[in-house]
Amino acid sequence: MKVQKKISTWGNGLGLRLDAKISKELNVKAGDQVTYDIKDGVLTVIPVKREKVITEDYLIAGLNEQNCHADLIPNLLLSEYEI
């Protein structure tokens, strides 16, 4: 996808604004990190992949009586209970 854009003043430097279509294509949002390289007068911008944060809520969200296999969970020792 080739798009012509205008370079704007941004503080003491210059900035290139990404419109929503390009942001979606690159899968980036405000605050994401990018790596850029300049070679033979060509600027290449590469998004830094975000690490997916896996929470306990995410892990247990789909559990139910049919798929949790509670029979495979070992019995806890008394010392492992939080009482």
Annotated domain spans of the chain: 1-83
pLDDT given at position 76: 67
Residue with tokens 């390289």: 37
Pairing type for strands 34-39 and 42-47 reads antiparallel
Which CATH class for the 1-83 domain? mainly beta
Task: Render pLDDT for 7-50 as a digit per residue (tens, 0 to 9).
Answer: 999 999 999 999 999 899 888 999 999 999 999 999 998 999 87
- What is d(CA 83, CA 38) in angstroms, rounded to the nearest whole number? 60
> pLDDT confidence of 57, banded at 50, 70, 90?
confident
Instruction: List phi, psi (to 5°) of 34.
Output: -135, 160
Q: pTM score, two decimals? A: 0.50
pLDDT given at position 54: 85
> pLDDT confidence of 72, banded at 50, 70, 90?
low
